[in-house]
């Protein structure tokens, strides 16, 4: 190591206080070479100045300004866990009471569900009856409204033309409505442009 001066990257190794393989001979060389010692000292001065460069204080209220623009998103599982924690009573006695209450209500609901399940046929029959009743009520009411609005002749005509006719009539109505809306919009736009 005595036959040449240190290369710039070798000076860098010493500056970074690297302890890797091969650094010890460089240190020994520096001890015996005034030129390299001067170069290293010069480089160390710059590094020392850099190491003393201070941090600057940011503006007061930066956190508030940032948080005003950041949407805080709470994942559903965290929200659920928080809700459980929040609604769990703090004292052990209240916690035991709440657990007992949950057990009683849970047992009742489970028992009721099982009872309904074992009587599936009866439940289906009652549901069917109620559904049929509701459907006939709604159909009658709608029929009466149509008769009141358009008269019995229209209703009869509609019954005669069947679903295709109803679809065609509905389509015609939609096209007519759309044309009316567009026409009105065109008139409004042109009158605004004139004014």
- Whole-number Å distance between alpha carbons of 30 and 78: 60
In sign, the C-alpha dihedral spanning 38, 43, 48, 53 is positive
Q: Is 34 in the site for other proteins (CB under 8 A)?
A: no
Contact residue for other proteins among 21, 34, 56, 149 (CB under 8 A): 56
**Which of 47, 46, 26, 48 lies closest to 37, judged by CA?**
26
What is the smallest separation between the CB atom of 61 and other proteins, expressed in angstroms? 10
Contact residue for other proteins among 25, 32, 35, 65 (CB under 8 A): 65
**Which of 4, 7, 16 lies closest to 39, judged by CA?**
7
CA 32 from chain center: how many Å? Answer: 66
Contact 6, 36 (CB under 8 A): yes
Q: Is 20 in the site for other proteins (CB under 8 A)?
A: no
Q: Is 53 in the site for other proteins (CB under 8 A)?
A: yes
**Which residues in the 74-113 window bind other proteins by CB under 8 A?**
74-75, 78-79, 82, 85-90
Q: Is 50 in the site for other proteins (CB under 8 A)?
A: yes
Closer residue to other proteins, CB minimum distance, 13 or 146: 13
What is the smallest separation between the CB atom of 51 and other proteins, expressed in angstroms? 6
What is the smallest separation between the CB atom of 64 and other proteins, expressed in angstroms? 9
What is the smallest separation between the CB atom of 15 and other proteins, expressed in angstroms? 7
- Whole-number Å distance between alpha carbons of 122 and 118: 9
Contact 87, 99 (CB under 8 A): no
Q: Residue 141 has which token pair?
A: 């009411």
Chain contacts with other proteins (rule: CB under 8 A)? 8-9, 12, 15-16, 42-43, 45-47, 49-51, 53-59, 62-63, 65-67, 69-75, 78-79, 82, 85-90
């Amino acid at each position: 190591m005595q036959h040449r001066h240190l290369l710039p990257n070798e000076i860098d190794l010493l500056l970074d206080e690297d302890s890797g393989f091969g650094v010890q001979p460089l240190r020994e060389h520096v001890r015996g070479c005034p030129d390299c010692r001067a170069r290293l000292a010069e480089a160390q001065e710059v590094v020392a100045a850099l190491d003393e460069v201070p941090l600057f204080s940011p503006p007061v209220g930066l956190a508030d300004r940032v948080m005003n623009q950041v949407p805080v998103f709470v994942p559903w599982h965290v929200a659920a866990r928080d809700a459980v924690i929040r609604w769990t009573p703090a004292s052990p006695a209240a916690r035991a009471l709440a657990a007992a209450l949950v057990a009683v209500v849970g047992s009742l609901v489970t028992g009721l569900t099982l009872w309904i399940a074992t009587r599936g046929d009866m439940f289906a029959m009652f549901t069917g009856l109620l559904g049929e009743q509701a459907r006939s009520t709604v159909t009658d009411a709608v029929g009466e409204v149509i008769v009141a609005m358009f008269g019995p002749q229209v209703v009869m005509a509609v019954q005669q033309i069947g679903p295709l006719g109803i679809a065609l009539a509905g389509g015609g109505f939609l096209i007519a409505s759309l044309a009316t809306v567009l026409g009105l919009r065109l008139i409004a736009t042109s009158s605004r442009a004139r004014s």
